Chain A
């Protein structure tokens, strides 16, 4: 039943269901330009219904066992396979303890049914501005591991996400893992957002502060623009200032002035700037209170 509208249907395609990575890479090599990789399918099927994408081939990677693993190794860090769902990331104790911002971003994303299907790597490959996990992963210094016919490579997330729905990935390549290096024990991180119910975030911030003589700070804003944005100016205030209420207020103020917010159907740029200030204050208070 489609009410005669393409909106409710999917364009025609051939479905592939490879059982191992080699087979997936072979399919990408053959069909690359005309193919889309499907993890949870949440984003892809929505794009296809709206005819923003009409791939002739859909390669479902859910059957690939080696991409289903979430592994934390003390001293090395975390690797999350391309088929690991947001719900699985949210349930991981290692993520909760060592990468708090990521835990908070995925456990509050969308709703439980979506989290049970959508994958973390899918979030990144979709590169949609309002999605919560990319800012958190950029704040924590994440990278993706890419497999391709010319060998493997690792790309820093700041470079991987080039723009909305624009990523550094060739048609014959596949993102196999998200990787995060070991968190320094003195790192404090958090993710804060403003959203209505299970809707997309109107604005969000991921903050990561590594305490120490030289404080390392990252403040990454999501939902405010076409890609996640860092505020280097506000980071500098936090890195160099003495921890105090006044410093937090100053950083929040600097962030709201330096982050280039857009106006759209969800909110005006002015309102987003206000949210940036509120969320930065909230995030920094959390980080320094712990």
Chain B
């Protein structure tokens, strides 16, 4: 056991960590961040994906101690106020509008991953999107709706950029 602190969605959480504890179990069972889903435990379905120090990782493949002193962001932490309390992000609204979740189990992972994709690359191509989510499985098969949701955010973003451009040239 070692006393460690980890920042989760902006809050510092102190916990005693066992050396053989997975980050997934720390987040889900002891810090009660339930958007992080436990399903395959072997890095295949990607539904335990979180941001660890700014990088997307599958938390079933990471030890909790590896996150000590670090920062974890889950889907609860990407809302507009950044602390999970409030506003939805553009991609979350698009998921709702396009019915991009059915049972909802994979939704946090897909939202987090596509949110991060769009943050890094506001206009991903089809193949860039496919590649970005290739480590995630939606067992209901809502891939087309997810594609549409991302396309909608992309188009909206383009419109607002061109609108801003037009405004700035006036």
Contact = CB atoms under 8 A, between A and B. Distances in A.
A1 to B, nearest CB: 5
B41 A7 contact: yes
Contact of B135 (A7, A15, A198): A198
Contacts of B21: 10
Given A15-B19, A113-B46, A113-B135, A45 B29 contact: no
A112 B131 contact: yes
Interface stretch (B55-63, B75-83, B91-99, B160-168): B55-63
Contacts, number: 73
A41 to B, nearest CB: 6
B42 A49 contact: yes
Given A11-B20, A113-B58, A45 B28 contact: no
A111 interface: yes
Given A10-B20, A12-B20, A15-B63, A113 B41 contact: no
Contacts of B42: 46, 49
A186 interface: no
A140 interface: no
A193 to B, nearest CB: 14
A8 B41 contact: yes
Contacts of A82: none
Contacts of B25: 1
A116 B29 contact: no
Interface in A77-109: none
A112 B19 contact: no
Contact of A15 (B55, B58, B61, B65): B65
B66 interface: yes
A42 B19 contact: no
Contact of A1 (B20, B38, B49, B56): B38
A1 B61 CA distance: 16
B38 A116 contact: no
Nearest to A17: B65
Interface in B80-137: 131-132, 134-135
A113 B19 contact: no
Contacts of B73: none
Interface in B5-43: 19-22, 25, 28-29, 38, 41-43
Contacts of A40: 61
A33 to B, nearest CB: 19
18 contacts: A1-B29, A12-B20, A13-B19, A17-B65, A41-B62, A42-B61, A46-B43, A46-B61, A49-B41, A49-B42, A112-B131, A113-B43, A113-B56, A113-B58, A114-B43, A114-B135, A116-B55, A116-B57
Interface of B: 19-22, 25, 28-29, 38, 41-43, 46, 49, 55-58, 60-63, 65-66, 131-132, 134-135
